[in-house]
Every structure is written in structure tokens, then in C-alpha cells.
A and B are shown apart, each in its own frame.
Chain A
Amino acid sequence: MSKSYMGSRTRKKDWEALTTGQPVYTDDIAPVGCLVVKLLRSPHAHARIQSIRTDLAMKVPGVVAVYTWEDVPQERFTLAGQTYPEPSAYDRLILDREVRFVGDPVAIVAAETEEAADKALRLIKVQYELLPAVLDYHTAKDNETLIHPEENWHCLCPVGADNHRNLAASGSCEEGDVEKAFAESKWVVEETYHTKACQQAMMETFRTWCQMDAYGRLTVVSSTQIVFHVRRILSNALGIPKSRIRVVKPRIGGGFGAKQTSVSEIYPAFVTLKTGRPSKIIFSRYESQIASSPRHEMELRVKIGADEAGNLKAIEVYTLSNTGAYAEHGPTTVGLSGHKSIPLYRSEAFRFSYDVVYTNQMSAGAYRGYGATQGIFAVESAIDELAHKMGVDPAALRMQNMVRQGDRMPAYYGEISLSNTMDQCLQKVKEAIGWEEKYPRRVMPDGHIRGVGLSLDMQGSGISGVDVGSVTLRVSDDGGYTMLLGCADMGTGCDTILAQMAADMLNCPIESIAVLSGDTDASPYDSGSYASSTTYITGMACVKCCKELTGKILSYGAEMLSCQPEEVEFDGEYVFKTEDPAQKVSLREISYKAESGSGKALEATASHYSPTSPPPYMVGAAEVDIDPETGKLQVVQYEAAVDCGTVVNENLARVQAEGGILQGIGMATMEDVIYDQKGRDMSNSFMQYRLPTKEDFGKIHVQFCPSYEPSGPFGAKSIGEVVINTPSPAIANAVYNAIGIRFRELPITAEKILLALNEKDGK
């Protein structure tokens, strides 16, 4: 009876509030008069606090409390938002006597006003004993300086972590006879690639406010992707039971994985617990740049061998990852650098090994792509190098070797690729960019040189066997529904997407479904919105939940019609007898009946997890324009084709893709977290850390090549992360095709291009 929402361009459910500027974000709804929380941060990369004087700071009018390492619980925990037991080591304290990077918190100040808090910060006197700092991650493993020598450091999972070797993780895996496969290869490339730390730079910085509720429980309102994990993290950090904590997420001003780490919550939570007063912390942009959760810097050594005919024989990847001062997301991101790059191709054998090292730089975290971005840059650059060595078209080499539907993917935990249109994606992208005409390069009338390059790409859909999504649906007494979700719409539109699915399943207009998401007291358990899981995992929970609820509606309706549930149908509005549709009862009547003298609640909850994580696939192609006089690089055209399974909402999928691609272009061409010799982050504002603007690129164009994923809701997979991976390799490959210079380190800036051009010309 009602229209289908699948594949539609339905507006986001929150569009009006967002576009008219309603107060729906964390700071907009903070209690008036809450304490302002600020942090004193370490000026040193590695030091031990010898003494710390807070008496002067405490005398500032309006200052309510100053806390130091002596005031906080001494049990270690991790801030990584991961399912228990977390693979990231328990290596944090709220405040530690040893500070491990420039920006590591030293003291917490709570004051009535921002001015008072700032003044207090200046009056805290700290004496540091400087320790040698590990600032080059190549020297971190087995360095005599240990980042975490402490006794109570511990890791819950066997991830190869060892604090006496500065290792947050290490390991390897392989299948097939790698040595033999390389020995039999006619063509072999072996190169090392380097990707830098990048900031998610979501427009809303980290922020949280807290207050005690009427029952003496701690309420935490935070801009987070992971309400349930935050509850556990706070319970660990504060040493209070989870039942005393409620975590709520309002609208979020962007996340991209940054808010999959509990960056800001522990400080106001500690203050409110101690003082009993509401408090809030708002990270400045500066703090969000220097003490947050950026992408792991990685160095990847890739070796690929192919036989005479161009069939790949073996792929080997070794990744050295820099997790910084804390292990957050270190053991898991590194895994994706191999497990989501090597399986792009069929090959007889593979080997993947890695070390994740601690250093005295800010802790890395989760950033969209989560290691796959780094791995794909390396592997997709190396494939191009192989093609050039062999003298074949890189597009043809990819077409010949790419993973196809039905293939087993040994490096992807042995999963089968059940839905895969990457070959069509490649075809479409080649046509759209004009590969045949433009490859490899064109010299333009103005002397600029243009080159094209491309890249294959994959990601996952949720963490197989771990991520849990849940949905609760209630019939409200006017015949509408309330949908409770534990996932976090951070702008991605998942509240809308899940409502679309429910509307299709329940045969009702989307307006009939009210959504409430991200409240640990009200929502059913959901691991959170990360790892590209929500559409695929929570989506399936939504489908199950709708089926269960429909069953209840049918049986209740049948009871009212004095017949068996098998004899009735539900059209979204009425339950009616199949034999005699005139005998019917409306959902509204059913819901009223359920509320009066009834022992049955018209609601259902369903959870879902998936034993597999079907990869979405994608192909991206860039045309770059290079001014040989200045080295200036511009991406004039970017073409992409995406296989995300069924497209649930065309608008939202497209904007995910466009936004992810531009972030990828930023990573490839300008974004770079830079430290000086003392370990100070020099890219600490939007002046130094430039983000792409509307004028930094020509055109981004996205097409879809939907496959049908049998294990996904309505055939859907994921799209949130896969979209960021292609630009780095596609642009590096395009630059090579344009000027014959291979850049193996990101970002590829005008300066680097100019220097390389001059060197090439012997200038």
C-alpha cells in the first residue's frame, strides 16, 4: 500500500533541525551554569612529574577543583571503543605521573568560568624530570627507552603486545608457499610506502558534559559514536559500576572514527563524580589537533610477483605501524592494512606480518578506512609499479587479476566473495574518466601535464563474529512506531536508513516511525557505529525485529477477529482475514486493546551479528593536472564506481562517497600531521593543517554498480569507509603517469613535486 523506500532519495529524518540551526548538539544543550573543565597539558614528549603545585591555582576566584595524578584511580584502562575484551592494551590512567607526548594531560581544572579556568592553568607549577623520547617509530621496537614500563600495564587479548619491547601488537599469517611462488615469478616488485598520520578534523571538536541525575547516577552527554563502550570505559576509569552510568549522544558534528575513542569523556565525568556538579569540556581546535585520535602512520613493505602471463603468484606485506603513546586501535588497524589490501587480487600465496610500536607522539585511533586505507595505498601503488615494469596497461593487469564473485579470499580470513561487481566498476570508471584517450598523459596547451591513474578498493561490513546491532520497535497507541537504536548517526543518516527499512518491512510511511538513538538507558545494546557496521549489522537486526513485531500484530489482530494468525494478513494499517478482507481491525484499535486489560506488549527487540563481513568494492580514477613550473597539483576529475550491495538511500550513499573521496584527496595531497624535533605537533590549526575546500578540486562523480549481498538487509553491504581508500593510490598513480615520478610517501604536495621535477631535470 505504501511506497517502497529502498533505493529512494528520502530526506534525512533530522534535516529540518540541522538546516535551520536548531540546538541539537552537545554544547547547545549543556546545563546553564555547569563547571568549565580544562586540561593542563604536557609541554614535553616524555617526562616524569617530580612535583606539582596547585595551591596558587586553587586561590583563583571561581576555581572549584584542581586534580593531579595523585587524585585519580590507579587501575589502567583503554579509551578505545571496542567490544570487550578489547585488543588495545590497558595502558591509560585519567592522569598519569609519566607523560608520554606533548599534550598528554597533567592536571584537570574545574572552574565557574572559562576565564578562571584559564588563569588557574597558568598558575599550576610543575617540575618535570625529562626522559629520553622515542620520536622515530623506526627505532621504537626494542628501544632502551620504554614508553610503558609500568607494572600494571596489561593486555586482555593475545595480540603480540609486549610493553618491554614497546610493542602494542605484532604477528603474521600466511597461506601457500610464498617463497616458491616468488621463485617462480618472472616479474617481482618490492617497494616501501609511507602514509602519514591524518586528522579526521570533524567540524565539531571533542566535547562532553556530565551531571548527576535524580537517582545519584552519572549522566554523560557526549559527542560519541559508541555510547555503550563509553559506559564501560568510564566504569573502568572511574572505578564505579556501569549501572551507575548513563551515556547519551545527541546529534554529532561528525566523527569519521575520531569519536570511536573516548577522547573527552573521562575528564568531566571525573569532575562531576567528585564535585557532584554539572561540568563540561569543549576541546579547542588546537586540542583536537594535538591530543586526539588520528590515523596511524604506517610504513608498508610490499612485494608482489607475477608470472610471464601476468598472473599474480604471491603478495607479501609487512606493516610497521606507529600507535603513538597509547595502544588505542593499534592492534586492529594494522590487521586491515593486510587483510583488506591483499585480498583485492587472486594469488597463489600471501604473507602478512606486522609490528605496532609505541612512540612519544599522540595516540593514534580509528579513522575511516582503519588501516585498509594505508594498505590499499601501498598495494595499489605496487600493482601499478608492476604493470609499468611489465610494460602493460595497469587497468588491464587489474582486470586480469582482481578478485571475482565466488572466489575464496585466503587473506580475508578465507571468506568467499559472494557479492562482487568490481569488474563492472572498473569498466564504468574507465569509460567515465576516458581512460583509453587519456592514459597515460596529455600535455595541455598551457604547458600543464595531465595524467590519469586508478585504484581498486575494498573494506568490510562490520566486524565478523563480534559486532552486535539491536533494534527495539514499539507500536504507539496511535498506530505509529517508536524505533530505539543503540547505533550512532553521526551525520551518515543511519537513523533514516534504518527507518526506511522498517517502513518497507511494516508497510507504513517513514513519518510513522519515530527514532530515538544512542542512549544506554533506553537503547538496546549495539556495539556502536564504526567498522562500516550499521547498515549491514543493525540493518539486519531491524529486518528481524520488524518480522517479530509483525508476528505479534498478526496474532493480536487474529485474536480480536476470533481466528487463527494463519488466517489473517497485515497491510500496514489493518489486520484482515485473507478469506474475507472486510473483516478487519486497524493497528490503532489493536494498539489500544494492547494497552487495556492486556498482558501483551506490542513491541519487539531483535539483535544481530554476522559470522562474515562481506566487503563492499569500489574503483576510483583520478585525472590530475600538474603545473611543471610550480609543482601545483589539482585533481581535475575524480570518477568512482561503488559496489555497496543494494543502495538503500541513493542520496546518502552518494554523499558518503563524495565526502569520503574528498577526505581521501586531502590525505593524498595536503593533510599531514607534522612534528618538530621535540615532538611538538606543528599542524595544530586549520592554518597549518589544511582541509580541502570547494576550490581544491574539479569534479567528483560517483556511480553505483549494485550487487546483492545474500547476508545483508535487502542485499545491502556497507559504504561508510570504503569510499576513502582510492584517492591516495589513484592520485599517486596518476602523478606517475603524468610526470614519470613515483611518490611512495604521502601527502604528494606541490613542494615535493617541484623538488622531484627539479631533481629529475638535474637542477
Chain B
Amino acid sequence: MEYPITFTLNGVKRSVSVPADRYLLEQLREMGCKSVKRGCETSGCGLCTVWMDGKPVLSCTVLAVRADGHQITTLEGLQPEAKILGGYLADEGGEQCGYCAPGLMMTLLAMEREYPDRAPTEAEIRHYLEGNLCRCSGYESHIRAAVAYFQDKREVK
């Protein structure tokens, strides 16, 4: 059984028909958003993080039909932001295989919106990123990059 849905994907209104049991993750990849990655089947890795109405969600556990009427954002829709933040990660060598990077970026950029008037502390960053697994880096480089990024952003503002 397929359902017609209409949602905004990275700022563009899209109408598609989706099977009832399809998850948003597969739907987004099929629509060309290949930045969205699957790492597990148990909502435990954070690789599939996208925004729904500006809030991070795990697209592997959200049914595609639930996107109806909502705004979905993937890293494809945040390219300038990703490039700036990505530079910080690259300066620490934190993008090793890079497979976790899109989910990490989506989470960090969401975090930035939750701290409009101050830079989050290192402990807050660690806590916020707990759901984003990375098997390569040991996380320290992610933390260093995030701390530096938020610090610099703060100075600019």
C-alpha cells in the first residue's frame, strides 16, 4: 500500500508516494540524499541523523509517511555550513573514514541552534554527541573540533 505525501526537502516542496512500511532513511537516499547513512538497525549509531522541522531525528526509525507536511533537512541542504564546520573537523583529522561525518555534522549544527547566546561547554558537547558513534576517531578530535568551532563562532557573533 502506497501513500501520497508532500514535504519540504532541503527547501524544495516534494510530492511522492511511499510504501507504508518504508523508513525515511531509505526514502531520502532514494531521493538522492546520499549523505544519509545507515550504521545499525537498532537506532543506536546516529549516522542517519536528519532534521525534521529543524530538530535532529533518526531517520532509520521515522516512517517516511510521517514526513508528510513537515520540513526535512539533510546535509545536502546545509552545504555552506557543512563546509565551514567540516574544516574544523579536518584541522583535527577527525574525519577518518568519514562515514559518521554527515550524522555528526547534522547533530553539531543542530546543537549550534540550541545555544543561540553562548558556546556550549566541553561536557555539554560530549553529552550532546553521545548518540553519534564513531569507530575510527576515539572522539577526542571531534570534541576538539567542536570546541574550537563554537568558540570561533562565538567570537564572530
Contacts and interface: CB of A to CB of B under 8 A. Distances in A.
A12 interface: yes
A203 B133 contact: yes
B138 A695 contact: no
| Interface magnitude class on chain A | 35 or more
Contacts of B139: 658, 662, 693-694
Interface stretch (A49-57, A248-256, A575-583): A248-256
A204 B99 contact: yes
B135 A201 contact: yes
Of A9, A28, A658, A687, most B-chain CB atoms within 10 Å:
A658
A202 interface: yes
B42 A686 contact: yes
Interface stretch (A13-21, A314-322, A600-608): A13-21
Interface string B69-103: 00000111001001101110111111111111110
A197 to B, nearest CB: 17
Contact of B45 (A16, A652, A686, A695): A686
B143 interface: yes
B96 A695 contact: no
B101 A11 contact: no
B39 A21 contact: no
B24 interface: no
A658 B140 contact: yes
Interface of B: 34-37, 39-42, 44-45, 47, 74-76, 79, 82-83, 85-87, 89-102, 105, 126-127, 129-143
A255 B98 CA distance: 12
Of B44, B47, B85, most A-chain CB atoms within 10 Å:
B44
A285 B38 CA distance: 9
A661 interface: yes
B90 A203 contact: no
Contacts of A201: 135
Contacts of B131: 693
Task: Please name the 10 residue pairs, one residue from A and one from B, whose CB atoms are nearest each other, closest first.
Answer: A21-B35, A19-B86, A491-B97, A18-B98, A253-B99, A651-B93, A658-B138, A15-B90, A491-B96, A23-B34
A652 B94 CA distance: 8
Of A19, A201, A204, A652, most B-chain CB atoms within 10 Å:
A19
A284 B39 CA distance: 9
A105 interface: no
Contacts of B137: 655, 658-659
A21 B40 contact: no
A252 B135 CA distance: 13
Contacts of A81: none
B130 A694 contact: yes
A493 B98 contact: no
A21 B93 CA distance: 16
B138 A662 contact: yes
Contacts of A285: 39-42
A130 to B, nearest CB: 29
B126 A694 contact: yes
Contacts of A699: 140
A699 B138 CA distance: 10
Contacts of B138: 655, 657-663, 700
B127 A20 contact: no
B96 A492 contact: yes
A695 B37 CA distance: 23
A654 interface: yes
A685 interface: yes
Nearest to B41: A285
A691 B133 contact: yes
Of B74, B95, B131, most A-chain CB atoms within 10 Å:
B95
A284 B42 CA distance: 11
A19 B97 contact: no
Contacts of B129: 694
A284 B41 contact: yes
Contacts of B126: 694-695
Nearest to B45: A686
Nearest to A496: B93
Nearest to A652: B93
B94 A655 contact: yes
A585 interface: no
A609 interface: no
Given A203-B45, A253-B97, A659 B136 contact: yes
A56 to B, nearest CB: 23
A257 to B, nearest CB: 12
B109 to A, nearest CB: 12
B48 to A, nearest CB: 11
B34 A15 contact: no
A471 interface: no
Nearest to A686: B44
B93 A12 contact: yes
A652 B141 CA distance: 10
Contacts of B135: 200-203, 254, 256, 659, 663, 691
A413 interface: no
Of A251, A286, A491, most B-chain CB atoms within 10 Å:
A491
A25 B41 contact: no
A490 interface: yes
A18 B95 contact: yes
Contacts of B39: 203-204, 285, 686
B62 to A, nearest CB: 18
A285 B36 CA distance: 16
A19 B85 contact: yes
Nearest to A685: B42
Contacts of B130: 693-695
Of A23, A649, A655, most B-chain CB atoms within 10 Å:
A655
Nearest to A20: B82
Nearest to A723: B138
A19 to B, nearest CB: 3
Nearest to B131: A693
Contact of A19 (B42, B45, B95, B127): B95
Given A660-B138, A694-B129, A21 B41 contact: no
A655 B101 contact: no
A686 B94 contact: no
Interface string A406-443: 00000000000000000000000000000000000000
B144 to A, nearest CB: 10
Contacts of B97: 18, 202-204, 251-255, 490-491
Nearest to B81: A20
Nearest to A649: B93
